[in-house]
Chains A and B, each alone.
Chain A
Amino acid sequence: MSAAGRPFGGERSVILDEVVRLVFHTVLVLAVYLLFAGHNQPGGGFIGGLVAGAALVLRYVAAGQRDADIRGGHEVLLGVGLLVAGGTGVAALLAGDQLFESWTFSEEIPVIGTVKFTAALPFDIGVFLVIVGLVVAVLDSLGREADPDAVDLVELDGVDEVGRGSAR
């Protein structure tokens, strides 16, 4: 394993790698849970989005930009998020209500039971996507490999030109 690409340099820690691998998907599930539960319990799109963002940050700190494969896509996340959130409001308008007038969907579905959600859910999904998009955008732009001249925050011993090149 090489140190190249890790945001704060240093040797890759096997323990950190494994822990991140274990918890990453769990944290994402938690994020989605918070998103859906948010209307009745603590949570919501903003919090869920931040949890998902934190999961990405974790993976990124452990593996670095390249191996974490967090690159690009923030435009799509931001755009779709805004579209979904704004579209929720406009949909109410098109249905003949006021802009952002809320509605409730409640239906008995076999096996699952009563499924109930409101206009807040698609809106919150939009918020969720925008927040994740923000984190991806910042990781993507500010989280490049460190500039050798400027890095003196943490003593780095793994970053050099050779290591940088070999990872590619």
Chain B
Amino acid sequence: MALLVLLHAALAATAPLVSRRVGKAVFAWVAVAPLATLVWAGTHAGAVLDGRPVVETAAWVPELGLELAFRLDAFGLVMVGLVSGIALLVFAYCPSYFGARPDLGRFAMYLTAFSGAMLGLVLADNLLLLFVFWELTSITSYLLIGFDDLKESARKAALQALLITGAGGLAMLAGLVLIGQQAGTYSLSAVLADPPTEGAVVAWAVVLVLLGAFTKSAQVPFHAWLPGAMAAPTPVSAYLHSATMVKAGVYLVARFSPAFADVGVWRPLAVGVGVATMLWGGYRALRQHDLKLVLAFGTISQLGFLVALFGWGSSKLLFAGTAMLIAHALFKAALFLVVGVVDHQAHTRDLHRLHALGRRLPVVAAVGGAAALSMAGIPPLLGFVAKEAGFVGFIDAEGVGSSWALGGVVLGSVLTTAYTARFMWGTFWPKPDALDPVGPDVPHPSARFVAPAAVLAGLSLVGGVATGLTDAIVQPAAGALYAPAAEYELHLWPGLGLPLALSALAVAGGLLLFALRRPVERAQLAVARPWTADSVFHSSYAAVLRGARRVTGVVQPGSLMIYLSVVAVSFNINPAVVLVGDVRLPDDVVLAESGFQLVVGLLVLVAAVATVLTRQRFAAVLSLGAVGYGVAVLFVIQGAPDLALTQFLIETVVLVLFLLVLRELPTRFRLRTDRLLQASHAVVALAVGALVFALAVTSLAARRSDPIGPEITARAYPEGGGANVVNVILTDVRAFDTLGEIVVIAVAALGTVALVRAARPGTRATGLRPDADRTIPGSPEVDA
């Protein structure tokens, strides 16, 4: 299974190159990945549906409990079928949807990468691995939403989606870690087989996991990003933002619900949020003019329905949820693909302008109609069958609030029928009163263009008519979540009873609501809302940026004096407190070991004092250099050639570099007139000096454990292979530290270059080689 994920990655990586040679045929190239996945899944389908999952494990970071564990069970098989099957259809659809544009390779790359990430997500059998793929889908979704990166709206929507799902993902990670620690294993199947259900930790963990699921599946109040995501090209909307990625949250709820439904607030939270989302999404869909937005809010609504079904966690509702999951993926992907066809042919998605398109494009209308009937829950389509099972599940559900949940779901279904009718009317019906109508003369789409949607709509029909066939998939899939859920059956004719009555009520109510669409729209407009989920997101985003700017303004005032003072004072306070509490003087303080040392030491002192007293910058730098050379001489006297050599070289190079900077500064230091400030600087400087002196004197006496020096010296040659102990320490004993240091050096070098470029007036920090910005300020351009 890891191989299939890698195949996606490999094809994604090569897509841009391939598209440069073959253009649109790149979609055939990347379609190999989902095709291979489907073939592979097909060969294992028999065993998996029989209840024998395929397992594959490889170690990754065993210390963290992170392993590359994949597991294909019957529920996973359903998800793989949806992820790879719809991917295949979308890849078949893309060449007709897109005109010839140069960036299709990039698009194919993102879409394939997403497909691989989603595949990994539904196959992962390790909590942390699941999280890795979860985040990968967020990132690829970000890239796809922002694909038209010249449009500001696309970039903003992409960022919004990334921030919301990313924040939820972090909450989920915390929840998964808590659950993993409580369970003692990070294996998903092991956790679900023997879930930790006791204690406040697990109760909080499930809330965190639900937060992740809610953000990913666009549940209220985190739904604002999904309508924005419609900025992506329509194949992306069909694939990610209706059929697959947004199902990741639903998938997580479905997996965890049988084990955790009774823990803490799981059931009331999941079902409550699910029903609220179903109602809110349906309500909002009734006002949209853009067909994609009608479907987007419809998707939010349906996702709420699915979260409510799975979130309850009873066997009947898990069964119904599985059926609904399949039904929704089929009809919603088909509807988006139909919208893509309409948009491509008519160049508009405004339902007030599309006029009599059904008469002009009867095949498209039939395909869209079949999918829409499934969405509205009309027999004999799969959507009806699944929704009936859901009603039955809520009617039979035991526990507090089941009748409220049933009521909410029925009301939600009323709204679903209403916005479905709005969608069909808006897309295909004649609208004699339309301003600037489009429709009667649009060109016919090619058969290839409509075929993918037709396949999906056809499956919606077959799945509803041949319930035995559907049962053969849904039963083991639901059973993989929770064994008793495999007992139930789908019914095309449920018999006269409450469930059928509720379906009839939903259809009748929905049609009534549709008939009253103008008053409903007016009423929605009349209800003033001070804020929306979208506006809350944007104002809190702006507030965070404002706050960050303010904090930066305080902690980064840009004054070297303040930085140095803060560093020096905090350096002084921390060790000084320890020193004062626990002073130990060494037994024998030696002033100097030889007269030579004494002389050099005195010279260093004189140079140091001169550095402080001089008013000339140049002189200050030179005397500072003298201090450094003096210290290097002391190293020589002590027999440390490496240190001395390094010190000499550093002093030499730094001296020249210092002088380069000095050219840009006034010759003399500015005279400080503020005596108080000057005095405080003197105090800080003297305190630092005194502390360093005190540390040097006392630190030798403060040793409590044996020095490691002799051991390093002894092991340097046999293990490090070098006679120069200093070098062995640098390159072997603490090689990782040295690597960190050269990274700092490299960053400092790049920072210097960038700062100097940015500060030079008249040039821009372009990142180009310096030749590109050699114009000298104030002088005419000399390049010929």
Report the minimum CB–CB distance from B741 to chain A (whole Å).
9
Cβ-defined contact, B742 with A130, below 8 A: yes
Q: What does the 1/0 interface line of B736-749 toward A look like (CB < 8 Å)?
A: 10110011011011
Residues of B within 8 A of A46 (CB): 646, 730
Chain A positions 124-163 with a Cβ under 8 Å from a chain B Cβ: 124, 126-127, 130-131, 133-135, 137-143, 145-153, 161
Q: In the complex, how many angstroms separate the beta carbon of A121 from the nearest chain B beta carbon?
A: 8
B722, CB-defined interface residue at 8 Å: yes
B401 adjacent to chain A (CB < 8 Å): no
CB–CB B665/A150 < 8 A = yes
| Complex CA distance for A131 and B721, rounded to whole angstroms | 24
Q: Is B656 an interface residue (CB 8 A)?
A: yes
Q: Are A89 and B730 in contact (CB under 8 A)?
A: no
Interface residues of A in 62-85 (CB under 8 A from B): 71-72, 74-75, 78-79, 81-82, 85
Residue of B nearest to A74 (CB): B749
Q: Does B653 contact A (CB under 8 A)?
A: yes
> Interface code A40-77, partner B: CB below 8 Å = 1, 0 otherwise?
11111111001101100100010000000001101100
A137 contacts B742, C-beta separation under 8 Å: no
Complex interface: chain A residues within 8 A of B732 (CB): 100, 102, 118-120
In the complex, B703 has a CB within 8 A of chain A: no
Q: Is A39 an interface residue (CB 8 A)?
A: yes
- Docked-complex contact B746 and A44, CB < 8 angstroms: no
Which one, A41, A86, A139, A168, contacts B723 given CB within 8 A? A41
Q: CB within 8 A of B753: which of A100, A123, A141?
A: A141
Question: How many angstroms from the CA of A126 to the CA of B771 in the assembled complex?
Answer: 27
Q: Which residue of A lies closest to B657 (CB)?
A: A138
A7 CB–B CB distance under 8 Å: yes
Given that A142-B661, A143-B660 are contacting pairs, would A41 and B724 also be in contact in the complex, using a CB cutoff of 8 Å? yes
Contacts of B756 in A (CB 8 A): 141-142
- With A and B bound together, what is the CA distance between A118 and B727 in angstroms? 12
Pick the residue among B664, B757, B782 that contacts A150 (CB under 8 A): B664
Give, as a whole number of angstroms, the nearest-CB distance from A41 to chain B.
Answer: 6
The answer on a CB contact under 8 Å between B642 and A47 is: yes
Knowing A44-B642, A104-B721 are in contact, say whether A50-B749 is a contact too (CB < 8 A).
Answer: no
Closest Cβ of chain A to B637, distance in Å, is 15
Given contacts A39-B721, A134-B745, A161-B779, contact A124 B736 (CB under 8 A): no
Question: Nearest chain-A residue to B780 (Cβ)?
Answer: A165
Contacts of B750 in A (CB 8 A): 75, 78, 137
Docked Cα-Cα span, A126 to B660, in Å, equals 27
Closest chain A CB from B620 CB (angstroms): 12
Contact indicator B663/A78 (Cβ below 8 Å) = no
* Contact of B662 with A133 in the complex, beta carbons under 8 Å: no
The 8 Å CB contact of A86, one of B652, B739, B749, B782, is B739
B783 at the interface (CB under 8 A from A): yes
- B777: chain A residues at CB < 8 Å are 147
A21 on interface, CB distance cutoff 8 Å? no
B776 contacts across to A, CB distance below 8 A: 145, 164
Which B residues are CB-close (under 8 A) to A134?
745-746, 748-749
Docked Cα-Cα span, A124 to B178, in Å, equals 43
Indicate if B575 sits at the interface (CB-CB under 8 A): no
* With contact pairs A118-B720, A130-B746 given, residues A39 and B731 touching in the complex (Cβ less than 8 Å): yes
Say whether A38 faces chain B, with CB atoms less than 8 Å apart.
yes
B719 within 8 A of A: yes
Contacts of B728 in A (CB 8 A): 39, 120
B660 surroundings in chain A (CB, below 8 A)? 7, 138-139, 142-143
Knowing A127-B738, A168-B782, the reply to whether A44 touches B730 (Cβ < 8 A) is yes
Q: Categorize the interface residue count of chain A.
A: 35 or more
Q: Mark B636-660, 1 if CB is under 8 A from A, else 0.
A: 0000011001100110110011011
Asked if B42 is an interface residue, CB under 8 A from chain A, the answer is no
User: A138 vs B357: C-alpha distance in the bound complex, in angstroms?
Assistant: 67
Question: A71–B771 contact, CB under 8 A?
Answer: yes
- Please determine whether B771 and A44 come into contact, CB atoms closer than 8 angstroms: no
Residues of chain B lying within 8 A (CB to CB) of residue A39: 721-724, 727-728, 731
Complex contacts, A38 vs chain B, CB 8 Å:
724, 727
Query: Quick check: B742 and A81 within 8 Å, CB to CB?
Result: yes
From A51, A137, A146, A168, give the contact of B749 (CB < 8 A): A137
Q: How far is the CA of A151 from the CA of B652 in the complex (A)?
A: 22
Cβ–Cβ contact B745 & A130, under 8 A: yes
Q: Which residues of the other chain, A, contact B735 by a CB distance below 8 angstroms?
A: 88-89, 100, 102, 123
- Which residues 646-693 in B have Cβ within 8 Å of A in the complex? 646, 649-650, 652-653, 656-657, 659-667
Q: B728: shortest Cβ distance to chain A, in Å?
A: 7
How far is the CB of B62 from the nearest CB of chain A, in Å?
A: 14
Asked if A50 and B782 sit within 8 Å, CB to CB, the answer is: no
CB pair B642–A147 under 8 Å, yes or no, is no
Inter-chain contacts of A126 with B (CB < 8 A):
742
Question: Which residues from chain B contact A7 at a C-beta distance below 8 Å?
Answer: 659-660, 663
CA distance A119 to B618 in the complex (A): 43
Provide the residues of chain A in CB contact with B657, threshold 8 Å: 57, 135, 138-139, 142
CB <8 Å contact, B656 and A57: yes
Tell me which residues across on chain B come within 8 A of A28, comparing CB atoms: none
Flag whether A91 is at the interface (Cβ < 8 A).
no
How far is it, in angstroms, between the C-alpha of A54 and the C-alpha of B657 when the chains are bound? 10
- Report if B522 contacts A (CB, 8 A): no
Q: Judge whether A131 and B642 touch: CB under 8 Å.
A: no
Chain B residue nearest to A7 (CB atoms) is B660
Considering only CB atoms, which chain A residue lies closest to B650 in the complex? A50
Task: Return B640 CB to nearest CB of chain A, in Å.
Answer: 9
* Candidates B727, B745, B757; contact of A120 at CB < 8 Å: B727
Is B704 interfacial (CB 8 A cutoff)? no
Contact B727 A44 (CB under 8 A): yes
* Cβ of B362 under 8 Å from chain A: no
Q: With the chains together, A164 CA to B719 CA distance in Å?
A: 57
In the complex the two chains form, what is the Cα distance from A74 to B656 in whole Å? 18
Of listed B617, B667, B731, residue having the most chain A CB within 10 A: B731
The CA of A148 and the CA of B777, in the complex, are separated in Å by 10
Query: Which of B645, B663, B724 is close to A40, meaning CB atoms less than 8 Å apart?
Result: B724
Contacts of A102 in B (CB 8 A): 719-721, 732, 735
Chain A contacts of B662 at CB under 8 A? 153
Residue B21 CB within 8 A of the other chain: no
B184 at the binding interface (Cβ < 8 Å): no
CB atoms of B727 and A78 under 8 A apart: no
Task: Look across to chain A and name the residue whose beta carbon is closest to the beta carbon of B723.
Answer: A40
B51 within 8 Å of A by Cβ? no
> How far does the alpha carbon of A57 sit from the alpha carbon of B659 in the complex, in Å?
12
Q: Who on chain B is nearest to A78 by CB?
A: B746
Identify A82's interface contact among B617, B661, B746, CB under 8 A.
B746
Say yes or no: is B770 at the interface (Cβ < 8 Å to chain A). Answer: yes
Are A153 and B749 in contact, CB atoms less than 8 angstroms apart? no
B727 contacts which chain A residues (CB < 8 A)?
38-40, 43-44, 120, 124
Are A72 and B721 also in contact (CB < 8 A) when A42-B645, A123-B731 are? no
**Chain A neighbourhood of B769, CB < 8 A:** 71-72
Q: How far is the CA of A100 from the CA of B731 in the complex (A)?
A: 9
Nearest-neighbor residue (CB-CB) of B618 within chain A: A153
Give residues of chain B (7-37) contacting chain A, Cβ–Cβ below 8 Å.
none
Complex Cα spacing A164 to B721, Å: 54
Residues of A with C-beta under 8 A to B642 = 42-44, 47
CA distance A100 to B729 in the complex (A): 12
Instruction: Write out the residue numbers on chain B whose beta carbons fall within 8 Å of the beta carbon of A78.
Output: 746, 749-750
On whether the beta carbons of B736 and A100 are closer than 8 Å, the reply is yes
- With a cutoff of 8 Å between Cβ atoms, the chain A residues found around residue B745 in the complex are 130-131, 134
Given contacts A54-B652, A99-B736, A135-B657, 15 further A-B contacts (CB under 8 A): A7-B660, A39-B727, A43-B724, A43-B727, A47-B649, A53-B649, A54-B649, A100-B735, A120-B727, A135-B653, A137-B752, A141-B756, A147-B777, A149-B778, A164-B782
Contact sample, A vs B, 16 pairs, CB 8 Å cutoff = A39-B728, A42-B645, A43-B642, A44-B730, A50-B650, A74-B753, A100-B735, A100-B736, A100-B739, A126-B742, A131-B745, A134-B749, A137-B752, A141-B757, A142-B752, A151-B663
**5 smallest A-B Cβ distances: which pairs?**
A120-B731, A39-B722, A50-B649, A118-B721, A137-B749
